[in-house]
Amino acid sequence: MHSALPKVLHPLAGRPLVSHVLDNVRSLAPRAVCLVIGHGAESVRGALAAPELTIVVQDPPRGTGDAVRVALAALPETGVTVVANGDCPLVPASAFAAIAAMASRGSLALLTARVGDPSGLGRVIRDAGPDGRVRAIVEDRDASDDERRRNEIYTGVLAAPTERLRRWVGALRDDNAQREFYLTGIVPMALAEGVPVEAHVTPSEVDALGVNDRAQLAAIERILQRRKADELLRAGTWIADPERIDVRGTLACGRDVRIDVGCVFEGDVELGDGATVGPYCVLRDARVGPGAAIAAFSHVDGAAVGAHARVGPYARLRPGAVLAEDVHIGNFVEVKASTIGRGSKANHLAYIGDTTIGAGVNFGAGSITANYDGANKHRTVIEDGASIGSNCVLVAPVTVRSGATIGGGSTIAQDAPPDTLTVARARQVSIAGWQRPVKKPKTEKG
């Protein structure tokens, strides 16, 4: 990956790559889950630690067979063990369930795939009989011409009765150029004991794709994103272009939701019935109410937008912003840690931070709440029906009472009384006869 970040922690659909594998494995309701880590062990442990997850370190890394040996020492001694790859996030839960069922009947179960180009991959060799039982896995470099023409490959995923797997892994040898213990070495052991070796073929070769570089990670990202888009489309969400949407978390959509191109959804996002999201918006941990509209190039982060509210274009709602019904937040308006009451408006070029705004308030263009004194944050309160003129500064802590009007260009540092015009600005002076300075003429150099 050419990165300081361990491969399994690289983000895929907003989560660490290996988290997708763990989710599918956990769907089996296993008695225990063990994650074998090596490079960047502490980073992986810190990112993935969970009460039900046992993490063990393979040090030094000596192949897949050795990794399984290390894991088995931390797992129950009976039952079935499923072995998965941390860098193959597309293997479906159903495939894990299928091989686990085979292993529960006493077989060594392999997950295989039929691929268009098996070059460089281990081939699955089957008996010619009607059962087509597996009799070997042959590495590409060791395969005959006939074996190379076969397109069924071993994915690296298997399941086996735990007691047998423990014995087989313990008998592996490292008599190869890499001095590693290969898990595939258990196949001839099983066959020698008369244990059936079965294979479950994935429905799609895509399921077996792994990540070894950033190009493969990007390709799998697009596969996952297209799957998420298709799920939303089938559920009734209108998506302008399913190739241009990124869901990096969970996205729950009501009926008749519309999503334009280039939108990114991170964390947990909910869109109510009839909500619309314009092009190139970013929503993170956000709730958007029924009928609300998020216009183009807006960011909604840790915020809640009420029913039929209007946000954007080019608006930014930061964590703690809560908009009631029918609120309008216009272009280049930023709202942080503030609640805005029903029907209130801030349509242009404004900053609202640490503020409580009542219903029916108009917050003028160019106005801000000055909430930070250099050391502490303070709160502004603007009560129902107040009107804040353009280019005003409300210096917190301060309260603007209901129905008050603040004249444009005012700096308000004291509470403004209700139903009253308050103006606080320098007196305008015009100076007759004043001359604007002019530049001195340039002299020629002699």
CA distance 269 to 301: 10
The 3-state DSSP class for residue 50 equals: coil
Tokens representing 170 are 């313990």
CA distance 118 to 144: 14
CA distance 104 to 81: 9
* 325 class by beta-carbon count within 10 Å (0-12 exposed, 13-18 middle, 19+ buried): middle
Give whole-number Cα distances, 284 to 300, 306, 367, in Å.
Answer: 6, 16, 26
Q: Tell me which DSSP letter residue 226 carries.
A: H
416-431 exposure pattern, b = at least 16 Cβ within 10 A, e = fewer: beeeeebebeeeeeee
The 3-state DSSP class for residue 23 equals: helix
Residue 331 is inside which H or E element, if any?
strand 328-336
Q: Which one, of 198, 109, 202, 199, lies nearest residue 162 by Cα?
A: 109
Are the beta carbons of 316 and 298 closer than 8 angstroms? yes
Tokens representing 418 are 């209700």
| Active site (annotated) includes residue 348 | yes
CA distance 64 to 250: 33
Residue type, 176: N
Catalytic residue among 20, 308, 348, 378: 348
CA distance 381 to 120: 68
* Bridge partner list, 200: 111
CA distance 66 to 182: 7
287-288 and 263-271 as β-strands: parallel, antiparallel, unpaired?
parallel
Counts for the chain of helices (H) and strands (E), in that order: 8, 36
- Within a 10 A sphere around the Cβ of 122, how many other Cβ atoms? 22
- Among all chains, which residue has been given the structure tokens 């590693």? 180
CA distance 378 to 433: 45
Tell me the catalytic residues.
Answer: 348
